[in-house]
Amino acid sequence: MSSQVRLLPTAIEGLSVLERLPVADWRGELERLYCRESLVPAFGQATVAQANRTLTRRKGTVRGLHFQRPPHAEDKLVACLRGEVFDVAVDLRLGSPTFLRWHGEVLTPANRRSLAIPRGFAHGFQALTDDCELLYLHTADFRPASEAGIDALDPTLGIGWPLPAADRSERDRSLPAVADGFEGVTA
């Protein structure tokens, strides 16, 4: 019997939660963190181009909301390896019926969930414990010229961060709010 994954839809079309179903015995367990075939419904035929790890030291820290503009737009799979985070994706897709809606998901090693974020979404998270470690799988390489973001504390979005926002980088504090007339990004 092999380890399995299951994609669960959210209220925002295209955004999915990946649930990992481990195989365990007396020695321990095996858990599949990534399976290209399982993610075809979420990401099409895109493959992983880059893997990144983050460590967030302080509870309450908010990172994001980040995305890459076309032609380097990316799908992301985000998993929590240590600690607990409130992971958020915001729909920025041009013409989407759920434009500017967000979905938040608590990710922990124990709940075995990942967020499968398609291109056209901004992503960020808040550390709910100290020393949170995340694994990111990206379908495009990072391109600084395509990097973009929006303010995670923008009242227009109304994200319900579970804790008061603590540490934010200078870069994240300077991200713009969603401006009047912002129509979204092409996926």
Residues with catalytic function: 66, 136
E-strand ranges in the chain read 4-9, 16-21, 23-25, 28-30, 50-56, 62-68, 76-82, 85-91, 102-107, 113-117, 121-127, 132-138, 147-149
**Cα 133–Cα 11–Cα 121 angle in degrees, nearest 5:** 55
Q: Are 92 and 15 contacting, i.e. CB atoms less than 8 angstroms apart?
A: no
Q: Find the radius of gyration of the CA atoms of the chain.
A: 16
CA distances in angstroms from 158 to 90, 103, 104, 155, 177, listed in the order given: 11, 11, 12, 5, 11
